[in-house]
C-alpha cells in the first residue's frame, strides 16, 4: 500500500504515473476537501474530482481541472440570468455535482460517494476525502475580510494578499473511514507536490492525521511544490511569503521536517540540498517538473523507492 496526501492538480499529476509505476490498486489517496464549495445548491469537491478525472484519463489537459472536451451550455444559459458563473462548471462536470449532492442529501457520507464516483470512472485506486465532516478553508484577506477558499482562489484569481488561513470545522472533524488505516498501513507515504498551506495543511488539521503521519516519519517522502523559489502552479510561493514562511525548498523543509524524513527537490534547487538536510530531512534531487514525458514516472519511482521491488 502506498498512501498519498493529495491536493488537486499538482497531486493528480503525480498520482497518475504513481498508479502506472506501482499498480493502481496499491495506491491510496487521502484528498483535501477544505476547498469544497456549495454553489447553485450543489456540493462541489474540486480536489476529489481533479484526482478522479485525472486518474480516469479524462481531465482537461490545459487547465488540469474539469473534463477534457467539455461544453459550457449551462454556464452560457446561466449568464442570461446573471447567475453565479465565476466558478466554471462544465456541462458534463455538472453531472458529478448533481450526483454527489443527491447522494449526500440521501444521507450517504462523502467518502462513500467519492468511492462510487471513482468506481463509475473505472478507477481501481482508493480515493478518500480527508473527512466526511464539513471542513472549510477560510482565507483572511489584507483588509480583514474573510472569504471562502474558492472565492479567494477562483473569483479573485488569488491576486489579493492574504494575512491568515483557518480550517473551519477541523477541530471537531474525524478522519474519513480508511484514512488512519491507510496512513498506518502504508509501505511508503507521499506528500504530493501540492500547496503545503491550503492543500496539505487541511488534511493534517483533521484530528489524528498529523500524529499518524508523524508516527511514520521515516517512511514519509514529500515532494516540493516550490521550484527555484516559485510555485509551478497557483499561489503557493506568495502564500508562503505572505504567511511568514520562506518561499523556497528550505521553507518547505521547515514545514515538513517534523512529519517527513525525506524531501525531493528539483534539480534547479540542487544547491539548497545541504540547507534542506540542515533542517533534519534527507534530500533527494531529481527532475520534478512533470511537463515532459517520463518525469512523472521517474519521480513516482523515486518517491516509492525500494517498496517497488516488494510488489
Distance CA 88, CA 264 (A): 34
By CB under 6 A, residue 235 contacts ligand FO1 = no
Q: Write the Ramachandran bin of 10: left for phi over 0, alpha for psi from -120 to 50, otherwise beta.
A: alpha
Instruction: State the Cα angle at 215 between 288 and 244, rounded to 5°.
Output: 55
Distance CA 205, CA 172 (A): 10
C-alpha cell at 189: 507515504
Q: If DSSP codes are grouped into helix, strand and coil, which group holds residue 158?
A: coil
Site string (125-164) toward ligand FO1, x via CB under 6 A: -------------------------x--xx----------
Cβ neighbour number for residue 84 with a 10 Å cutoff: 12
Could you tell me the smallest distance in angstroms from the CB atom of residue 271 to ligand FO1? 30
Could you tell me the smallest distance in angstroms from the CB atom of residue 32 to ligand FO1? 7
Which of 6, 7, 59, 170 touches ligand FO1 (CB under 6 A)? 7
By CB under 6 A, residue 266 contacts ligand FO1 = no
By CB under 6 A, residue 89 contacts ligand FO1 = yes
Distance CA 59, CA 137 (A): 24
Nearest to 262 by CA among 216, 209, 211: 216
Could you tell me the smallest distance in angstroms from the CB atom of residue 234 to ligand FO1? 7
Q: Which of residues 32-61 bind ligand FO1 (CB under 6 A)?
A: 35, 44, 46-47, 49-50
Could you tell me the smallest distance in angstroms from the CB atom of residue 3 to ligand FO1? 19
First to last CA, the chain: 9
Q: Are strands 230-231 and 42-44 parallel, antiparallel or unpaired?
A: unpaired
| Among 84-92, 165-173, 185-193, 251-259, the segment contacting ligand FO1 (CB under 6 A) | 84-92
Is the CB of residue 247 less than 8 Å from the CB of residue 238?
Answer: yes
Could you tell me the smallest distance in angstroms from the CB atom of residue 87 to ligand FO1? 5
Closest CB to ligand FO1 among 50 and 288?
50
By CB under 6 A, residue 180 contacts ligand FO1 = no
Which residues of the shown chain bind ligand FO1 in the complex (CB under 6 A)?
7-9, 35, 44, 46-47, 49-50, 65-66, 87-89, 93, 150, 153-154, 199
Amino acid at each position: 500500500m502506498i498512501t498519498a496526501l493529495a491536493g488537486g492538480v499538482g497531486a493528480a499529476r503525480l498520482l497518475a504515473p504513481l498508479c502506472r509505476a506501482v499498480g493502481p490498486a496499491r495506491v491510496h489517496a487521502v484528498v483535501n476537501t477544505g476547498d469544497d464549495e456549495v454553489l447553485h445548491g450543489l456540493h462541489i469537491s474540486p480536489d476529489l474530482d481533479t484526482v478522479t478525472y485525472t486518474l480516469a484519463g479524462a481531465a482537461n489537459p490545459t487547465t488540469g481541472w474539469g473534463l477534457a472536451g467539455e461544453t459550457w451550455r449551462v454556464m452560457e444559459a446561466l449568464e442570461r440570468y446573471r447567475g453565479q458563473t465565476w466558478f466554471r462548471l462544465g456541462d458534463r462536470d455538472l453531472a458529478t455535482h448533481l450526483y454527489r449532492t443527491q447522494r449526500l442529501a440521501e444521507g450517504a457520507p462523502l467518502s462513500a460517494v467519492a468511492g462510487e464516483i471513482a468506481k463509475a470512472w473505472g478507477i481501481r485506486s482508493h480515493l478518500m476525502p480527508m473527512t466526511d465532516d464539513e471542513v472549510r478553508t477560510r482565507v483572511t484577506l489584507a483588509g480583514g475580510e474573510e472569504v471562502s477558499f474558492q472565492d479567494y482562489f477562483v473569483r479573485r484569481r488569488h491576486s489579493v494578499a492574504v494575512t491568515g488561513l483557518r480550517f473551519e470545522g477541523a477541530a471537531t472533524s474525524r478522519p474519513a473511514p480508511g484514512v488512519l488505516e491507510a496512513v498506518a498501513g502504508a509501505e511508503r507515504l507521499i506528500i504530493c507536490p501540492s500547496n503545503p498551506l491550503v492543500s496539505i495543511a487541511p488534511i493534517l488539521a483533521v484530528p489524528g492525521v498529523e500524529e499518524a503521519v508523524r508516527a511514520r516519519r521515516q517512511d514519509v517522502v514529500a515532494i516540493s511544490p516550490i521550484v527555484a523559489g516559485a510555485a509551478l502552479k497557483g499561489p503557493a510561493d506568495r502564500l508562503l511569503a505572505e504567511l511568514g514562511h520562506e518561499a523556497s525548498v528550505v521553507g518547505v523543509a521547515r514545514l515538513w521536517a517534523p512529519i517527513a524524513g525525506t524531501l525531493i527537490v528539483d534539480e534547479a534547487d540542487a544547491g539548497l540540498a545541504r540547507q534542506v538536510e540542515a533542517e533534519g530531512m534527507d534530500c533527494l534531487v531529481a527532475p520534478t517538473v512533470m511537463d515532459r514525458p517520463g518525469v512523472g514516472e521517474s519521480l513516482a519511482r523515486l518517491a516509492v523507492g525500494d517498496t517497488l521491488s516488494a510488489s
